[in-house]
């Protein structure tokens, strides 16, 4: 185990941005994590300028070289911690691939995460982001997690309430930002499947597949098919999935927008507000009259031609170029709809 200096971290971010980290190391245990923090103090680079913990690197946009310490979380392991009549509790290392964990659950007949198939990234980021897709979020299957407090150098257990989950949000993105390193997560999964196929195009895809009997595997495959039809593979085209969150507005504002734009896409929430489809909003805007952001390309940056929510690096784009494009998109949507979009991606 050692800390490397001035390391290119292009392969560790799904946008494929050519940036360097002053210090870089991987850890696969809590003990190694503590040791790396101590070792970094002996480096010629002043410590701690900045510390960044990464997993799959799928939700990060680097706009410049990282002036600090990058630690890649490679803690692995999947272990059953408790089993009940209808539920099973599974402890998973933060460094495990999220999609591979989903496939492992499906193979073992553990239900609850099949709708979250093919989401890029690692398990440790799933509660931090409260990842979600097709009517399911991490909070629906979350039980608890352990996280290493960087300053206190100790493990802390977080319950469901401790995490304060919100839409693509948790305490680790605001109140406790940069304070903890998530080391493992415990999920509460169903032994008796409760299929959730009402959201999006799942039913249509299942029909297309000729499915007559539901199973975890076929629901997962339907989600995989849908995602593959709309989203680029980061190994082929650099991207971080959806760059923007779906905005939430009041029902009164939605009525006004509906009168102006009858085809606007919105979904009712339990709190009475409306969640708008950010992709639809972006498609209606563009860099100039008659040109949509969807499919737009300027040099090596652009919006994917099948999903306007996805910003892409076609070859050798710089992070600040992608960031500038995102700001242009935000401004155009606000100007046309008076709706403010928020980035889902962590800008570094």
Q: CB of 332 within 8 A of CB of 294?
A: no
pLDDT at residue 201 in the model: 87
Cis peptide before 48 (omega within 30 of 0): yes
281-312 pLDDT, tens digit per residue, is: 999 999 988 899 999 999 999 999 999 999 99
Active site residue 344: yes
CA distance 229 to 224: 9
> Domains, the chain, ranges and CATH?
4-73 (3.30.43.10), 78-190 (3.30.465.10), 238-347 (3.90.78.10)
105-123 pLDDT, tens digit per residue, is: 999 999 999 999 999 999 9
Active site residue 242: yes
Over residues 197-201, the mean pLDDT reads 81
Over residues 257-261, the mean pLDDT reads 96
Return the percentage of the chain with pLDDT > 90, whole number.
Answer: 84
232-252 pLDDT, tens digit per residue, is: 999 899 999 999 999 999 999
Q: CB of 68 within 8 A of CB of 52?
A: yes
Which of 228, 224, 59 shows the shortest CA–CA distance to 128? Answer: 59
- The alpha carbon of residue 281 and the mean position of all alpha carbons in its chain are separated, in whole angstroms, by 21
| Catalytic residue from among 168, 170, 205, 326 | 168
Backbone conformation region of residue 63, classed left if phi is above 0, alpha if psi is from -120 to 50, else beta: alpha
| Catalytic residue from among 242, 283, 326, 332 | 242
pLDDT over 70 (residue 332): yes
Which of 189, 199, 142, 135 shows the shortest CA–CA distance to 170? Answer: 142
Over residues 32-52, the mean pLDDT reads 75
| Catalytic residue from among 96, 137, 205, 344 | 344
Active site residue 326: no
pTM reported for the whole predicted model: 0.89
59-108 pLDDT, tens digit per residue, is: 999 999 998 899 999 999 999 999 999 999 999 999 999 999 999 999 99
Query: CA 62, 311, 334 angle in degrees (round to 5)?
Result: 100
């Amino acid at each position: 185990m050692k800390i490397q200096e001035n390391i290119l971290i292009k392969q560790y971010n799904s946008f494929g941005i050519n940036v360097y980290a002053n210090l870089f190391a991987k850890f696969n245990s809590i003990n190694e994590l503590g040791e790396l923090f101590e070792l970094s103090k002996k480096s010629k680079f002043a410590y701690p300028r900045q510390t960044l913990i990464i997993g799959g690197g799928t939700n990060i946009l680097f706009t410049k070289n990282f002036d600090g310490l990058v630690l890649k979380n490679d803690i692995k392991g999947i272990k059953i911690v408790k089993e009940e009549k209808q539920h099973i509790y599974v402890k998973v290392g933060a460094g495990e691939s999220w999609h591979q964990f989903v496939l492992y659950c499906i193979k073992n007949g553990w239900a609850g995460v099949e709708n979250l198939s093919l989401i890029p990234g690692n398990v440790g980021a799933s509660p931090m982001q409260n990842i979600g897709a097709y009517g399911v979020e991490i909070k629906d299957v979350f039980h608890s997690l352990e996280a290493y407090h960087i300053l206190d150098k100790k493990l802390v257990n977080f319950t469901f309430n401790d995490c304060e989950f919100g839409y693509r949000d948790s305490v680790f993105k605001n109140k406790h930002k940069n304070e903890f390193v998530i080391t493992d997560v415990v999920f509460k999964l169903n032994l008796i499947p409760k299929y959730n196929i009402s959201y999006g195009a799942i039913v249509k895809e299942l029909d297309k597949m000729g499915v007559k009997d539901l199973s975890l595997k076929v629901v997962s495959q339907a989600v995989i098919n849908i995602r593959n039809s709309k989203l680029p593979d980061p190994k082929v085209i650099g991207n971080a999935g959806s760059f923007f969150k779906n905005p939430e507005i009041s029902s009164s504002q939605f009525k006004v927008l509906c009168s102006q734009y009858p085809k606007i896409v919105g979904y009712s929430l339990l709190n009475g507000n409306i969640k708008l489809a950010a992709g639809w909003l972006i498609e209606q805007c563009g860099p100039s009259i008659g040109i949509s952001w969807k499919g737009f390309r300027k040099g090596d940056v652009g919006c994917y031609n099948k999903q306007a929510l996805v910003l892409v690096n076609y070859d050798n784009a710089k992070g600040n170029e992608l960031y500038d494009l995102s700001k242009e998109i935000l401004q155009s949507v606000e100007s046309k709809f008076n709706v403010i979009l928020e980035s889902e991606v962590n800008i570094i």
